[in-house]
């Protein structure tokens, strides 16, 4: 079975073990990602066949002799995107320091807040910390994820419920008879608990402290 890894957000992450065996691994260069080329992405593969097919598909379906051998589109990177990508790479280390510093500050600020757990990085791995994701345990916190998000929003703190709902509950799949309904209880539980907090180059350490204080207050007076 062909296996494709969605690694859209994982540029600059390092696993403990080599990348699992698969057909391809796909990275995103969208403007919201750690490596920003305005738009676009990268397909990494060890398969010569997949490599040739992807190169052909991104260039109108041509092969090296300019024969159309299959379906394709014009998905080549333009010069402005390439220039933005080069600038992004040049500042990558500085950006990673900021993201990791925000993560550490959130971890310290939320350490004593019951029911709000910052997602941990497994031992032996590194992470780009582009997203600050917490799980909200409604029993321990006294309020659920949605209520916490509403309270933060009332304080002009914008959060994201990544990734909710799960794909299997989105309209194209939920309403199409060809898709057999499936019971993904773990996925469902996570999509009801995860919340991404503000981070990024425009977020200051004081912002992180304020957000952590508001979360602590929301739980304290839940």
Label residue 16 by pLDDT band (50, 70, 90).
very low
Domains 4-90 and 93-220 share a fold: no
Q: Which helix (H) or strand (E) holds 152?
A: helix 145-154
Kindly give, in sequence order, each residue whose CB lies less than 8 Å from that of residue 155, ignoring residues fewer than 6 positions away.
214
pLDDT, tens only, 26-71: 999 999 898 999 999 999 898 899 999 999 999 999 988 999 999 9
User: Which two structure tokens, joined as six digits, stand for 86?
Assistant: 């080069």
Q: What is the DSSP string of 8-24?
A: TT-TT-B-SSPPPS-SE
CATH topology assigned to domain 93-220: 3.90.1150
For the segment(s) 4-90, the CATH number from 3.40.50.300, 3.40.640.10, 3.90.25.10, 3.90.550.10 is 3.40.640.10
Map out the domains of the chain as residue ranges: 4-90, 93-220
Work out whether the CA dihedral 165, 170, 171, 175 comes out positive or negative. negative
pLDDT, tens only, 143-153: 999 999 999 99
Q: Is the pLDDT of residue 142 over 50?
A: yes
The average pLDDT across 195-211 equals: 96
Predicted local confidence at residue 124, as pLDDT: 78
pLDDT, tens only, 68-112: 999 999 998 999 999 999 999 999 999 999 999 999 999 999 999
Q: In whole angstroms, give the CA distance from residue 145 to residue 50.
A: 41
First to last CA, the chain: 48
pLDDT, tens only, 145-176: 999 999 999 999 999 998 888 888 887 777 66
Work out whether the CA dihedral 206, 120, 195, 37 comes out positive or negative. positive
- Give how far Cα 82 sits from Cα of 29, 36, 78, Å: 10, 10, 6
């Amino acid at each position: 079975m062909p296996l494709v890894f969605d690694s859209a957000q994982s540029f600059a992450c390092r696993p403990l073990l080599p990348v699992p065996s698969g057909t391809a691994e796909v990275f995103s260069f969208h403007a919201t990602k750690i490596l920003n080329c305005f738009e676009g992405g990268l397909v990494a593969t060890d398969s010569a066949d997949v490599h040739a097919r992807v190169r052909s598909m991104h260039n109108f379906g041509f092969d090296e002799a300019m024969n159309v051998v299959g379906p394709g589109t014009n998905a080549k990177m333009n010069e402005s995107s390439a220039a933005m990508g080069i600038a992004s790479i040049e500042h990558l280390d500085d950006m990673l320091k900021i993201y990791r510093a925000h993560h550490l500050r959130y971890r310290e600020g939320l350490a004593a807040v019951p029911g709000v757990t910052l997602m941990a990085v497994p031992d032996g791995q590194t992470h780009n910390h582009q997203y600050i994701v917490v799980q909200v345990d409604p029993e321990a916190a006294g309020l659920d994820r949605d209520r916490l998000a509403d309270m933060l929003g009332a304080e002009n703190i914008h959060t994201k419920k990544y990734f909710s709902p799960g794909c299997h509950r989105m309209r194209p799949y939920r309403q199409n008879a060809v898709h057999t309904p499936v019971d993904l209880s773990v996925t469902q539980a996570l999509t009801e608990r995860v919340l991404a907090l503000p981070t990024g180059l425009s977020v200051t350490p004081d912002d992180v402290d304020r957000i952590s204080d508001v979360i602590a207050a929301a739980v304290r007076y839940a």
